[in-house]
Amino acid sequence: MLQQRYERNIEERWQKTWDEEGTFRFDETDSTKPVYSIDTPPPFTSGELHMGHVLSYSFIDFIARYKRMQGFNVYYPQGWDSQGFPTEVKVEKKFGRLPPVQFREKCIEWTREFIARMRIQMQQMGFSPDWRFEYRTMEPDYHRKVQLSLIKMYADKLVYMSKYPVYWCPKCVSAIAKAELDDVEKDGTLNYIKFKGPDGADLVIATTRPELLHACIAVMFNPTDERYKSLEGGMITTPLGKEVPAIGDKDIDKEFGTGLVMLCTFGDKMDVVWMHRYKLRMIEGMDRYGKLLEAGEFTGKKADEAKKLILEKLDKEGKVVKKEPLKQSVKVHDRCGTGIELITSLQWFADIRTTAKNIKAMAERIGWVPDFGISYLIDWVESAEWDWVISRQRVFGTPLPFYYCEKCLATAAADSDNLPFYPEKARPKTCERCVTPMKPETSTCDVWVDSSITPLIISGWPDDEKRMQRLYPASLRPQGVEIVRTWAFYTIFRSGVALTGVPPWKQILLNGNVLATDGKKMSKSLGNIVSPSDLLRDYPADAIRQWAALSGAMAKDRPFSYEDIKYAKSFLGKVWNAARFVESSAKEDIRDAPALRMTDRWILGRLAVLTKECTEHLERFEYHYTMSKIQRFFWQDVCDNYLEYVKYRIYEGDDRAARYTLRKVMYDSIRLMAPFTPHISEEIYHELFGANESIQKAGWPDAGKEYKDDAARVSVLNEIVSQIRQHKSRNKLPQNAELESVRLSLPEDLDAELVSELKQISRVKNVVIVKGEFSVSAG
């Protein structure tokens, strides 16, 4: 018996049953069913699922469940991106600074707890990964695989160590990659400062970073600028008394400031470009903590403090002409919000410049959904100017499996038969040139290094060749559109171009972000966050999942909608009550084909069309169309019309055709819904249809006959019934009120069956038909 209402207890029960029965297990031994494998995103282990997770994992779950019903052997693992800076911050806050090995242990402990919490939330949403294949990037075996992948790339000269200016976060005291930068609008000051020209006359230069004066190596102007043409080849004296060359360059904006630029190593990216262009000497003006180097009396001061002090000093000397407020866009570290610097240090790089062409070519061999998604990657590849900095000066990360010689900077890879590599217990190695012990690298990998081999990890690489054959490339990579230039890009580069030569997936499906109801980004400061755990208190998982399906405009951001989710909840109520109606009126299965009536064939035809459309939409990942069509069909066609049409047959007789049709429509509907609303579908499947295994194994419905003639006849019937409903509504009559007679004016006569149905459905005693324009009047 179906319980009175559809409630959370039903969902919890099914989640438990699925888990106990291993309903979602990938069958490793079955070789008959085609495999559908999903390279699921490993979420960062923050401890809390957010709406973006709910959206993207729902997208994954829909396709996994649909494919299972279609007879695929679905391989749906779930991993965790478990390492990284935010965890270090939290752990340090709680336990203080600890030696690296202990610190890492605390991080692992902490992360385990967070994973457990997130896994519960995923299960509450009804997601169906095969948890036997769970992986965590912080585990030694994962480290081993990442390290092996890097050693292979090192052997192919795709990974190297070099001293080069890199983006640097002084707070994290680590190199960071271009992809980790955010732009922030800031109120800055443009300071106009006096330099001396070759002739001894004042030259005013505008700068936002006077603290870098000591690292000034040139003064730049535009060669077409009449004011400064004569400077070419001359020497300029900085306010600190240093002489630097004046250089003309076309990239200088004549309109900005005074049209002169002081070039420092390194104020920003253009400084690096210009330094190389003119082969200038580099000054290491800043250390790892953002403190000035070789800056005379300001040495050791942090940049902000030094700026103040230098300006005060120059002011006193009368060298500051004016200060102008300026709106600046400043680059900050996306994880901690600290302003980044460019500093020179020894780092490890992966070659993305010479491989860019191959990455692009491989991306083109993958099916992008939606197709314009690839443009995000291509734009990014084409603007790649620097190689990817893969080293981070962190503790909770995968150690880079390399050694280097402090004397000659020669490098060596760790032995691939002795992985995972940890620097504190590394085998000794000797530099071949200097015959001195080499230093094991203590930097860790950028977390994208970890996550860019997930398609390999889930496919058994590098240990299980047979598994690899079966599972690689993955059928699908689902992911957020905002990480195309990181996760998708790095994965195609590493798993595809560098390690296997084969694209990592056949298709990639992109989803957008969930915005707050006001259309803005969800953020703590705006207080507009909607959280899955809050929603789960008021709405069943099957309602939240429908919301996700309805948000399905791919690769597009969409505001969260309480309207959708409320509607979804009432839809569940509708389905539930319809099922209870069927349960009370047609409990028994009917196997032989009864004599169907016009309305039966009509609804079965509608069902056939719906089934065909849903299948087509799902093949294209068009969840939004699928879900809204199911909702409309079930609510309007089935409940509002068909159910009302057959009530008289159910109540007044033992009508096999009606009972057969009701069951058939119900049975196929819950199967079509099952990828989206698995819990309610499962419950009805078991209670009403007496199933003893999961609806996941019930197969995907076949589209039956369309019955086009009956569709035409019933649309006439619908129209007349609607007119009679209007008449009752206008006359304040209940819809079940009996009418003495109805007069129909119609262009064509009605057949006897239609008239008979009409009389019963609308409770009319007499129907009079006359020829003419369509109209209905009652008396």
At 633, which amino acid appears? F
- Our CB check for RNA shows the closer of 9 and 383 to be 383
- The answer to whether 570 contacts RNA (rule: CB under 7 A) is yes
Rounded to 10 degrees, what is the CA torsion of 669, 675, 680, 683? 90
Of 90, 112, 196, 269, which lies in the binding site for RNA, with binding defined by CB under 7 A? 269
Positions in 587-616 near RNA (CB under 7 A): 613
Q: Which two tokens stand for residue 170?
A: 């002084």
Structure tokens at 540: 């069943």
Using CB under 7 A as the criterion, what x/- string covers residues 4-43 for binding RNA?
Answer: -x--------------------------------------
Among 104, 106, 136, 209, binds RNA (CB under 7 A): 209
Cβ-in-10-Å burial (0-12, 13-18, 19+) of 549 comes to buried
Instruction: Say how many C-beta atoms besides its own lie within 10 A of residue 293's C-beta.
Output: 15
Residue 331 interacts with RNA (CB under 7 A)?
yes
Rounded to a whole number of angstroms, the minimum distance from the CB of residue 663 to RNA is 15
**Cis upstream peptide for 428 (omega within 30°):** no
DSSP state of 339: B
Count of residues binding RNA (CB under 7 A)?
78
375 binds RNA (CB under 7 A): yes
Residue 639 in contact with RNA, rule: CB under 7 A: yes
Give yes or no for residue 635 binding RNA (CB under 7 A): yes
Question: Nearer Cβ to RNA, position 67 or 178?
Answer: 178
> Which amino acid appears at position 212 of this protein?
L
User: 367-369 and 135-136 as β-strands: parallel, antiparallel, unpaired?
Assistant: unpaired
Length of the chain: 779
Q: Does 713 bind RNA (CB under 7 A)?
A: no
Three-state SS string over 117-140 comes to HHHHHHHHCCCCCCHHHCEECCCH
3-state secondary structure of 257: coil
* 372: preceding bond cis by omega (within 30 degrees): no
Smallest separation, CB 755 to RNA (Å): 20
Bond before 420 cis per omega within 30 degrees: yes
| Residue 173, Ramachandran bin (φ over 0: left; ψ between -120 and 50: alpha; else beta) | left
Is 239 a binding residue for RNA by CB under 7 A? The answer is no
Q: Is 252 in the site for RNA (CB under 7 A)?
A: yes
- Residue listed under structure tokens 């069509």: 629
Q: Minimum CB separation from RNA for residue 209, in Å?
A: 6
**Contact with RNA (CB under 7 A): which of 213, 643, 680, 761?**
643
Choices 21-29, 32-40, 253-261, 391-399; region in contact with RNA by CB under 7 A: 253-261
With the CA atoms of 511, 514, 520 and 523 taken in that order, what torsion angle do they form, in degrees rounded to the nearest 10? -120
Contact map string, positions 494 to 533, toward RNA, x by CB under 7 A: -------------------------x--------------
Single out the residue of 94, 199, 592, 651 in contact with RNA (rule: CB under 7 A): 651
Min dist CB 291 to RNA, Å, is 20
**CB of residue 652 to RNA, shortest distance in Å:** 7
Residue 130 CB, shortest distance to RNA, in Å, is: 32
Give the residue, chosen from 556, 697, 705, 708, that forms a contact with RNA under the rule CB under 7 A.
556
Please give the distance of CA 377 from its chain centroid, rounded to a whole number. 15
Q: At its nearest, how many Å lie between RNA and the CB of residue 25?
A: 34
224 binds RNA (CB under 7 A): no
379 counts as binding RNA under rule CB under 7 A: yes
**Does 410 engage in binding with RNA (CB under 7 A)?**
no
Check residue 574 for interaction with RNA (CB under 7 A): yes
In the block, which residue shows the tokens 């099916």? 367
Of residues 65, 200, 43, the one with CA closest to residue 126: 65
Q: Which of residues 664-693 bind RNA (CB under 7 A)?
A: none
Query: To the nearest whole angstrom, how small is the minimum distance from the Cβ of residue 732 to RNA?
Result: 4
> Does the protein bind RNA through residue 569 (CB under 7 A)?
yes
HSE-CB at 624 with a 13 A cutoff on CA atoms is 11
d(CA 754, CA 715): 11
CA 505 to chain CA centroid, nearest Å = 16
Rounded Cα–Cα distance for residues 23 and 18 (Å) = 5
> Given the rule CB under 7 A, which of 31-39, 204-212, 489-497, 739-747 is the region that contacts RNA?
204-212
Enumerate residues 720-759 that contact RNA by CB under 7 A: 722, 725-726, 728-730, 732, 734-736
Q: Please tell me whether residue 715 binds RNA under the rule CB under 7 A.
A: no
Q: Residue 20 contacts by C-beta under 8 Å, 6 or more apart in sequence?
A: none
Q: Does 773 bind RNA (CB under 7 A)?
A: no
Q: CA 385, CA 383: separation in Å to the nearest integer?
A: 6
How many other β-carbons are positioned within 10 Å of the β-carbon of residue 93?
8
- 529-to-86, 251, 310, 533 alpha-carbon distances in Å: 20, 44, 44, 11
**Closest approach of Cβ 643 to RNA, in Å?**
4
User: Contacting RNA (CB under 7 A), which of 85, 380, 404, 685?
Assistant: 380
Question: Site for RNA (CB under 7 A): which residue of 226, 250, 296, 329?
Answer: 329
> Quick check: 376 binds RNA (CB under 7 A)?
yes
Among 531, 561, 756, 760, binds RNA (CB under 7 A): 561
